[in-house]
Amino acid sequence: MLRKIRELLANIPLPFLQNPAAVVAILPLAGIIGTGSRFSPALNLAALEDRIDRAFDVYNLKAVALAINSPGGSPVQSELIMRRIRDIAHEKKIPVYAFAEDVAASGGYLISLAADEIYAHEASIVGSIGVISAGFGFNRAIDKLGVDRRVYTAGDNKSILDPFQPEKDKDIKLLKELQKEIHEFFKTLVKERRGDRLKGVQKILFSGQFWAGKEAVKLGLIDGIGDLHGVMRQKFGRKVKFKRIKEEKGLIKGLLGVSAHRPGISDEILATLESRALWNRFGL
């Protein structure tokens, strides 16, 4: 009797075990890149490292798809995120595809360079390969208010670009030299990752300009027009499964919606304004 049961079980097909469906892990990367705040959460390696690892640890994984929606931010964090994704993809021999949603600009585009192929919607904004520094000058305002600004430093350049003092030519020169160095770093990464796929004139490509999806394809900044689910089904079949990698919150953090570090309200307001300014550059 037991032998007959075993024979019957042996003849029952188990397709879900014999041919499990291919899986694509979706790693959402949305927001400003940097330290962030309670009101303007941001992307950085410390916050993303666990999710990146989990994305590459999915059962029967065939690819990782980056869903990018970012106007940019910190070039350092952008490159750290990009390199971490690239390193683990190489280690596990898993292809990576990037998909620009509303915008993948500046640091957002830099992160997309982690992918073997980059796609966007026709109306996506892509590019902005450049460096920007913006701020305000309050020196005339405090003069009108009758406020004295008292600053004491050890080091001639410690108070460079102080917003409460008039601009100095030497400060602007130092800033522009720094920006040029960071811009060269950004350009090198783009050339390294896109290589012969770049078709545009470099002076235009690296001018800080940005383009909609179709023009970005012509310039070689991206590989095609398409949405994440559509492209992945074309590559891995209609039955491909998708697993979205979500942020895991601790119990207390999840219940209260706060982090251990809480900046002052003025810092929060400035961070939120800076965040909105970045998005607003692209009409978003």
Tokens representing 215 are 């023009």
24-28, 89-93, 187-191: the lowest-pLDDT one: 187-191
Side-chain half-sphere exposure of 66, counting CA atoms within 13 A: 33
pLDDT range class, residue 256, cuts 50, 70, 90: very low
Q: What is the pLDDT of residues 186-221, one digit of tens each?
A: 889 999 999 999 997 888 888 888 899 999 999 999
| Total domains present in the chain | 1
pTM: predicted TM-score of the whole model, two decimal places: 0.77
pLDDT range class, residue 273, cuts 50, 70, 90: low
Name residues whose C-beta falls within 8 Å of residue 165's C-beta, 6 or more positions apart in sequence.
Answer: 139, 149, 151, 159
Is position 166 within any domain? no
Mean pLDDT of the chain: 81
Q: Which residue has the tokens 């383009």?
A: 211
Q: Which one from 92, 158, 170, 246 is the annotated catalytic residue?
A: 158
Q: Which one from 106, 124, 128, 275 is the annotated catalytic residue?
A: 106
Task: Give me the CATH number covering residue 62.
Answer: 3.90.226.10
CA distance 115 to 249: 27
Is position 99 within any domain? yes
Between 170 and 52, the higher pLDDT residue: 52
Residue 253, pLDDT > 70, answer no
pLDDT range class, residue 128, cuts 50, 70, 90: confident
Amino acid at 56: F
Is position 142 within any domain? no
Average pLDDT on 222-246 reads 95
pLDDT range class, residue 268, cuts 50, 70, 90: low
Residue 158 bears catalytic tag: yes
Tell me how crowded residue 189 is: count the other CB atoms within 10 A of its CB: 19
Q: What is the pLDDT of residue 260?
A: 42
Is position 117 within any domain? yes
Instruction: Please tell me whether residue 43 adopts helix, strand or coil conformation.
Output: strand
Is position 164 within any domain? no
Residue 275 bears catalytic tag: no
CA distance 45 to 73: 13
- The domain in which residue 26 lies consists of 13-131+197-280
CA distance 10 to 5: 9
CA distance 263 to 144: 29
Q: What is the pLDDT of residue 251?
A: 46
Burial of residue 187 (number of CB atoms within 10 Å: 0-12, 13-18, 19+): middle
